[in-house]
Amino acid sequence: MKIKYLADENIPLIVIKELSELGFSIESIPSGKRGMNDKEVMKYAFEKGLVIITFDKDFGQLIFKEKVNSKGIILLRVTPTSPKKIKSIIKKILEDKELIPLGKFVVIHEKHMRIVDLP
């Protein structure tokens, strides 16, 4: 099963474009929907069956406190020094055949990751 991803607005468009060109199923928030709040992003992603990739910690609050539905979240807790570094980090995650983020809240740190089942 090929997992599809939605890159939050804090992921540079060039990163999304380059990852798509490498064959990953990753899309950005459509231009007509830019500026949506986090709940709206989650609703959009859930309805389309997309796992969200983001730097925004607020998604954890929405999932664990407010119980907003999600197919999965990958939260990047790394310093986004450049689009090249962001692309490298995301590419490594998406290439990891053992990491299945569906139904998971995955937190990526510089040296490790945490995976928690969604409620």
SS3 36: coil
Pick the closest to residue 53 from 81, 33, 25, 34 (CA basis): 25
pLDDT tens readout for residues 71-119: 999 999 998 789 999 999 999 999 998 899 999 999 999 889 999 999 9
62 C-beta neighbours (distance < 10 Å), count: 19
pLDDT tens readout for residues 14-70: 999 999 999 999 999 987 788 899 999 999 999 999 999 999 999 999 999 999 999
Q: The pTM is what?
A: 0.93
Domains of the chain, start order? 5-117 (3.40.50)
SS3 73: strand
